[in-house]
Chain A
Amino acid sequence: MRKILSLALGLAAGAALAGAGALPASAAEKLKAAWVYIGPVGDFGWSYQHDQGRKAVEAAFGDKVETSYVESVPEGPDAERVIEQLARAGNKIIFTTSFGYMEPTLKVAKRHPKVFFEHATGYKRDKNMATYNAKFHEGRYILGQIAAKMSKTGTIGYIASFPIPEVISGINAMMLGAQSVNPDMKVKIVWVNSWFDPAKEADAAKALIDQGVDIIAQHTDSPAAMQVAEARGVKAFGQSSDMIKFGPNAQLTSIVDNWAPYYVERVKEAMDGSWKSTDTWAGLKDGEVEMAAYTNMPDDVKKLAQETEAKIKSGALNPFQGPVVKQDGTVAAKAGEAVADKDILSMNWYVKGIDDKVPGQ
């Protein structure tokens, strides 16, 4: 699929180059925007949600935009080729939606100073390259509180993808939330070393449940774990999309990525010329992170979750508010302080109360 798309893109790029010489002003009418995805749009997770954002842009601007996307682009040299082709094809703004696209995006951005680049989850910027990310850990703090209230075994099972800061800070935020309700909550963490491998995610969920876990949280992209939880009669949290259909009796809530408001705003700025290179890290307050309906839980737990959500939105509660103590006993944030944003974005340690090691540390 990718190869076919790439070939089509190559042809399109060639055609655009040929056309550019003849009709330099023709592109001014319609703004062209493009997206690069790490997975297939059919993953019902990360890439699916980005594509929902792209569709929102189409819906918002109708005839004034022309959007396109390339899916399943591996991180690395392939990504640079794809981004380069998109830039040459006359796109005015290009969104690259995975951490590993950072260097390729930066390289292409330097070669195309008039094109706006937007890189998700990275930290390198340029005059024409902005970054954006979502504070998923805000949602995970709420999951922790719900889990601590709902678990009978006192142990949460966590299916994790790769030991990168975004995932590790998610585990920590969830445990801080859980400890705020029950200081003795435990977590079992299983790394599947993949963002998307449904059968493996299902295996991990089964293994965790067999080990006595009665709540499943996940930081992988498919609804496989939710389905296993439903079949085995335990509770679970969804990821990226609302997965209630896959676990009508299992899902407590889902963390939903909502990129639509950001994409619409940035495309609008690219149109009216007010686009600037910025660093956006939005969360629950801005609607970039949403919580799916709180289901399958008693009213008091639901109330707690809603209150916490409201407090995070108003700024009254910061999931990484001190005191935060690392596993080895050192203090990451004193009482009255919070862990700094830059430390969350580079987190490679667990908080106290997690009986496991960060892989590779």
Chain B
Amino acid sequence: MLDTVMIGAVLASVVAAATTLLIASLGELVAERAGTLNLGVEGMMIIGAAVGYATAYSSGSLLLGTLAAVLAGMALSLVFATLTIWLAANQVASGLATTILGLGLAGLIGASFVGTRLDAAPALDIPGLSDLPILGKVAFGQDAFVYASVGLLVLVTWGLARTRIGLILRAVGESHAAAHALGHPVRKIRTLAVMFGGACAGLAGAHLSLAYTPFWASDMTAGRGWIALALVVFSAWKPLWLLAGAYLFGAVSILQLHVQGFGLGIPSQLLSSLPYLATVGALVLISAMKRGQGAPASLGVPFVPDR
């Protein structure tokens, strides 16, 4: 019942499923490491999906569509940043509002595209390597979004840990008062971090509407933005654990479908909840093993410089 071709196909599905979550959650991780909790991921993701699809459909260019999605996510994140960082509004309420606004706007933008379709973003085979057995297609025969997610992961991991910008960003997230005293522009840095998160969420939305299921339908993100948010928390704000979480979630959500297909008679309701249970379980274990990896100390606290 399992052969190498099938294993390869299953793994390829897992990679695709994990990619949306990985891209969106990496962006949110950066925003949170700088101290801002943005609950608007779902809204920024869906606006990216809608604008990306509308642009790609109208222009015929997937690249333009993807760029537009990134810009749309950034634009919406800027609304959130203005409210929370510059006007010191409540981050939780503003984030929820951002999600509601995003869902509504996306429905409006996408309304005239309902019932149309696009050709999916093509798989970019890397010559030679994509013909390897089992892992060839999985690692080297994916669409550009998958490669982008790997690039983002490297960029975020290395950038946060090894660069001066990363150090300042983390300092702002841990203690905005100290960073301010050292002369760092706290609010500007936070705004840029939130916009990076918006760009990533927009890109994740484009992955859905241009590659995964290349059409537009309202609410098509179906809660993936919330899962991305949860992954950030459970990964204890560490990019590599985020990678593990996203792939574990993707793997279990694909495998449970296969288990159902084999007709073993396990209740599907239980199987459907497995990705959540497995991911929460695994990530709680990871963070329990390594203590002292809590949230950035200034997370969710608005910074108002005294004059």
Contact = CB atoms under 8 A, between A and B. Distances in A.
Interface in A137-173: 157, 163
Interface string A179-219: 00000000011111110111111111011101101000000
B188 interface: no
Contacts of A359: 267-269
Contacts of B287: none
Given A359-B267, A359-B269, A203 B253 contact: yes
Interface residues of B, number: 44
B110 A42 contact: yes
B70 interface: no
Contacts, number: 140
Contact of A41 (B218, B224, B253): B218
Contacts of A44: 114-115, 215, 217
B260 A191 contact: yes
A1 B260 contact: no
A245 interface: yes
Contacts of B254: 203, 206-207
Most buried by B among A192, A206, A222: A206
B154 interface: no
The B interface is mostly helix, strand or loop, or mixed, namely: helix
Contacts of A245: 115-117
B157 interface: no
Nearest to B258: A207
Interface residues of A, number: 49
Contact of A206 (B9, B218, B269): B9
Nearest to B260: A190
A201 B217 CA distance: 13
Contacts of A202: 212-213
B302 interface: no
B272 interface: yes
B215 A223 contact: yes
A227 interface: yes
Contact of A222 (B213, B261, B268): B213
A40 B261 contact: no
B222 A194 contact: yes
Contacts of B17: 199, 203
A41 B104 CA distance: 12
Contacts of A208: 257, 261
B230 interface: no
Nearest to A223: B215
B210 to A, nearest CB: 12
A246 B219 CA distance: 19
Nearest to B268: A191
A35 interface: no
B6 A163 contact: no
Contact of A246 (B10, B212, B215, B271): B215
Contact of A40 (B219, B258, B272): B219
A204 B257 contact: yes
7 contacts: A42-B111, A44-B115, A72-B218, A189-B263, A190-B268, A245-B116, A357-B265
Interface of A: 1, 3-4, 39-44, 48, 71-72, 157, 163, 188-194, 196-204, 206-208, 210-211, 213, 222-224, 227, 231, 241, 245-246, 355-357, 359-360
Given A196-B219, A198-B222, 10 more contacts: A40-B217, A42-B110, A44-B115, A189-B261, A191-B268, A198-B208, A207-B254, A222-B220, A224-B213, A360-B269
